[in-house]
Structure formats: C-alpha cells, structure tokens
Structure 1
Amino acid sequence: MVEQLRVDVDDLTGARIIALLTQHHADMAATSPAESMHALDLAALRDPAVTVWSAWLGADLAGCAAVKELDAGHAEIKSMRTADGFTGRGVAAALLGHLVTAARDRGYRRLSLETGAEDYFAPARRLYLRHGFTECPPFGAYVPDPLSRFFTLALDPE
C-alpha cells in the first residue's frame, strides 16, 4: 500500500488537511496538559519556517507531517499524524522517511522532535527509535518535562 503513497508540500488551504490538523491539535490538547502540549495550531503551521507535507493514497488523505527549521543546521519534526483508517499501513514510516530525506536535502545536520511520555504516544516513540532516532535532552526552547520525551537523529549527507 505504501508504494502508492504520494507526499506533497501542502499549502494548508484544503478542507481535508485543515480537518486532519484540527483533529490532531484537539487530540493532543485532550491528551496532554496545556503546559506539556507542543503541537502547532494551523496559524503556527503557516509560519514560513515550517513546511507541511500531506500524504495521499489515491484521492484519500492518509496523513501529514511538518518540519520546522530551528537554525541552518537543525530542524524539528512537528504534527506527525496518520489519518483515521490508515494506521498500521506504513503511512507514518513512509512520511518519516520523507522528512529525513527532505531534511538531508536541505542541509540540516540534525533532525529532532518532542513527543509525549504517556502510553498514548508509545507507538510514535517506537517508530522514531526504529528509524534511528535516539533520546536526547530538551533542545531549542524546550525545558525538562516529565510528560515530554525528546529524540534526535544526526543526519549524514548522502
């Protein structure tokens, strides 16, 4: 199924991507207390430092992910989400591979992320570890938080 996945830069104007990201933000707010919830809302995802990609299987929106540039050598993964009905089909792994390739192509030396420490986020943590990310201390503007886990991947140019 994943071989049919098409990943495009998204301008965040389509109703389906807006609905998916709105659902993602609401789910994150319901899962984590406000001080530990770091998902970007639509306005923040439209920042020029952020690129959002949508993943499509045919005409169906299967997921999305974003990368935010922190500096010329470091970027952060934001708002990874697989759409309902597409979990367990390799969408997240394919999107993550796309983000790593895009980060390398942009010349970043490091790609990092924050995710939750709660059981709800265990599948995401396993995904990142399977793809070579390692736990790290808080980066950027993050501070230590028992409800957050931080991961990073050193990017070697290919």
Structure 2
Amino acid sequence: MPLEIREDDLTHPATRALVAGHVAEMRAGSAPELVYAYDLERLLARGVTLWSAWDGDALAGVGGLAEIGPGRGELKSFRTHADHLGRGVGRRILRHALAEARARGYASVWLETGTAPSFDAARHLYGSEGFVPCAAFGDYVDNPLSHFMRLDLG
C-alpha cells in the first residue's frame, strides 16, 4: 500500500476525529486515572511529534513520539483507522517513529499499551519490532490494565 507519512499539526478534521475517537475508546474501557492516551492538547505540546499516514486522501493512521527525558522517547497515540486495519499501517508509522528516535539520538523508546485482548495486535506488533516487556516507568503506575515495553536503540 503506498502510504505518505507526514508530520501532522492536528488541523485536519480526519486526524482530529481519529485521535478523539481513540481517546474516547480508551476512556470508555478504563478508570480515569489509568487512561494514558494523549488528547489533542497533549499531542500539541512541546516535545511531542505526531505523524499521520495517508492513502491518497484517506487517513490510514496516526502515531506519536514524545521526549520523556534525555535520550528517551515514548510512543503515544498509535491508532490505525478501522478502514485500514491489517494492512501494515501501524508498522509503517512505528518504523517511521523509530527512525526519527534514532535520528534524535535517543538511546531507548518506551511505551504503555493495554492488557485486554483488544490490544493483542498492538503488543504483537511492538514485540515483533524488538520491544520487550519492562516495569512501569516515569509517572505510570503498575496496574493490571497496562503493559509496559521498551526498545534499546543503542
């Protein structure tokens, strides 16, 4: 699938809708204090970059990278549009984000994802790209709904 991946400023209605839907779904399935998905405001914060993948005029997915400390990045708000599931969109955005992390000189990239069966594909994707399970990091709280992973880039 020919995808164009570009840095996104969150002004396109399709991007805003996909992010808003992602956050709403995360909030619907978790206690408020355990929802770590970045909303539009947090994705626009300094130190956060969001990319969107486009198949022509159709938004295929989004994924972000936040700087969480010297030499460390965190993946945020990865979401594939329902019309593009199973087509490698998430992998393409992930590889793009990891290339950017390496270009920035990050030593490691971290992430938090869910433990429910609906997150099986995400955990498989991250594991297939070299991420390994780890303990909670940063401000995260160890809890049964979160699965933490990291990738050393060195």
Give distance in 2, aligned partners of 1:32 and 1:116: 10
For structure 1, the residue ranges without an aligned partner over 5 or more in a row are none
After superposition, residues 77-156 of structure 1 pair within 5 angstroms as: 77-156=75-154
- Equivalent pairs counted in the alignment come to 154
* Residue 20 (structure 1) aligned with residue 18 (structure 2): yes
Q: What TM-score do the two structures reach when normalised by structure 1?
A: 0.95
Deviations 1:85-118 (A, max 9, x none): 1000010111111111010001100000000111
Deviation at 1:72, TM superposition (A): 2.1
- Name the counterpart of 1:58: 56
Residues 21-66 of structure 1: per-residue CA shift (max 9 Å, x gap): 0011111111222122100111111101110000011111100001
Within 2, Cα distance between the matches of 1:103 and 1:31? Answer: 30
CA distance in structure 1 between the aligned counterparts of 2:105 and 2:11, rounded to whole angstroms: 28
Shift of 1:131: 0.6
Q: CA deviation at 1:146?
A: 1.2
1:140 Cα deviation after fit: 1.0
Moved over 4 A (4+): none
The answer on 1:29 being equivalent to 2:27 is yes
For structure 2, which runs of at least 5 residues remain unmatched after alignment?
Answer: none
Q: State the Cα distance separating 1:150 from its structure 2 match.
A: 0.2
Q: Give the aligned residue type for 2:125.
A: L
Distance 2:34 2:114 in 1: 8
Where 1:85 maps in the other structure, the secondary structure is helix
Q: Secondary structure at the match of 2:125?
A: helix
SS of the aligned residue for 2:84 comes to: coil
Query: 1:38-57 alignment to 2 at 5 Å?
Result: 38-57=36-55
Letter in 2 for 1:136: C
- Give distance in 2, aligned partners of 1:30 and 1:127: 23
Aligned-residue sequence identity (percent) comes to 44
